[in-house]
Amino acid sequence: MKFIVNSSVLLRQLSYIDGVVVAKPIIPILNNFLFEIKDGLLTIHSTDLETTMNTSIKVDSKENLSIAIPSKTTMELLKTLADQPLAFSINEEKGTVEIKYESGRFKLTAQRGDEFPKTPEIAEGSTFEIGAKILQKAIAKSSFAASTDELRLNLTGVYLQLFKNNVTFVATDANRLVRFTRNDVKPGAEDSLILPRKALSLLKSCLPTDDTIVKVTFNRQNAHFQIGEQSLICRLIDEKYPDYRAVIPAENPNKLSLDRGEFLMAVKRVSITSNKTTHQIRLKITGSELTISAEDIDFENESQEKMACVYEGEDMEIGFNSKYLLEMLNNIDAPTISLEMSQPNRAGVILPAAQEADEDVLMLIMPMMLNNY
């Protein structure tokens, strides 16, 4: 059987779903894209068994087919071709695919389409809608704080809480926590689920930066995201998420207001001399002056910077992991931030000084025990 498709269109669509393919899969066929044609619509699937992505293209074909084509070789070919029509000739019995283009041809070994894992179906699921731009921002502002420790599986994903009139994304690795709430997304019901970080990273990469509506359908096992011609289905993390509200301090009488950009660059410079294992820096607040310092005793390196600040509260010294602090500062858009604290051994809360409309962002960072020097 034959079909014709534009090379640039095919490359763009495959680029959306190629990230799912792993280098050394458990099942060899997972190194392939599944090409399915039905009624002139080519649907291409990729999966790692945990996450499945699909994309669709209209093609010039009068027949139906299902065949698995090597993903790496196909992508390598498409990246080298100029914009032009490609003619695919497929022999399902012999398991071969021939791709003809303007100046040559490729012949590849393929596999039967019915050997490719079936796409999970979500029956009797709940549904809500969210704008692509909002979802992309929510993923970017929360997923970086999720844990990479597979022994704490429940913390390796992003906790999605649905309420009637808003939606909240939460991520934590027990050293830091991010809570991102949007009040302009109204699921209409209360529910919760834990989304894997890899699936969210793949989803973020294929989301348009506009107000395209993303339809989200989920049950107890899977979540399905439909974005125009693309879709992503991921298996949910079947674990109980900890009560994150319990670690957010209710009262923080010591409030430090800072220029985000100035503070970020100061922390970045001082952290150069911090211990390469702990990344510890020290914040000493006295009146309207903040002193940021770090040292690495092993190499006798140390640094110190001072900057003006607006501070309400008692003089304080507190230690933080500079790596975590920098990630948080890089994920806040506001020009001014507020760092709220209660005691040197209690978590610090970072807030944008001015929250955007319909948005509520809270970041929490655990302190580090200081050694006197």
Nearest CA-CA partner of 323 in 270, 360, 372, 369: 270
What homologous superfamily is domain 126-245 in, according to CATH?
DNA Polymerase III, subunit A, domain 2 (3.10.150.10)
Distance CA 310, CA 249 (A): 21
Supply the angle between the helices 197-206 and 132-142 in degrees, to the nearest 10: 140
Q: What are phi and psi of 282, to 5 degrees?
A: -115, 135
CATH superfamily to which 2-115 belongs? DNA Polymerase III, subunit A, domain 2 (3.10.150.10)
Report how far residue 173's alpha carbon sits from residue 230's, in angstroms, rounded to the nearest whole number.
31
Structure tokens at 264: 């970020």
3 state SS for the chain: CEEEEEHHHHHHHHHHHHHHCCCCCCCHHHHEEEEEEECCEEEEEEECCCEEEEEEEECECCCCEEEEEEHHHHHHHHHHCCCCEEEEEEECCCCEEEEEECCEEEEEECEEHHHCCCCCCCCCCEEEEEEHHHHHHHHHHHHHHCCCCHHHHHHCEEEEEECCCCEEEEEECCCEEEEEEECCCCCCCCEEEEEEHHHHHHHHHHCCCCCCEEEEEECCCEEEEEECCEEEEEECCCCCCCCHHHHCCCCCCEEEEEEHHHHHHHHHHHHHHCCCCCCEEEEEEECCEEEEEEEECCCCEEEEEEEECEEECCCEEEEEEHHHHHHHHHCCCCCEEEEEECCCCCCEEEEECCCCCCEEEEEEECCECCCCC
Supply the pLDDT for residue 63: 86
Q: Six-digit token pair at 9? A: 């269109």
Closest CA to 337 of 346, 347, 349, 345: 349
The predicted structure's pLDDT at residue 372: 61
Give the CATH fold of the 248-365 domain. Answer: DNA Polymerase III; Chain A, domain 2 (3.10.150)
Q: How high is the pLDDT of residue 332?
A: 95
- 2-115 and 248-365 have identical folds: yes
Per-residue pLDDT tens, the chain, 373 aa: give them.
Answer: 789 999 999 999 999 999 999 888 889 999 999 999 999 999 999 999 999 999 999 988 888 889 999 999 999 999 999 999 999 999 888 889 999 999 999 999 999 999 999 998 887 789 999 999 999 999 999 999 999 999 999 999 999 999 999 999 999 999 999 999 999 999 999 999 999 999 999 999 999 988 899 999 999 999 999 999 999 999 999 999 999 999 999 899 999 999 999 999 999 999 999 999 999 999 999 999 999 999 988 888 999 999 999 999 999 999 999 999 999 999 999 999 999 999 999 999 999 999 988 999 999 999 999 876 4
Give domain limits for the chain.
2-115, 126-245, 248-365
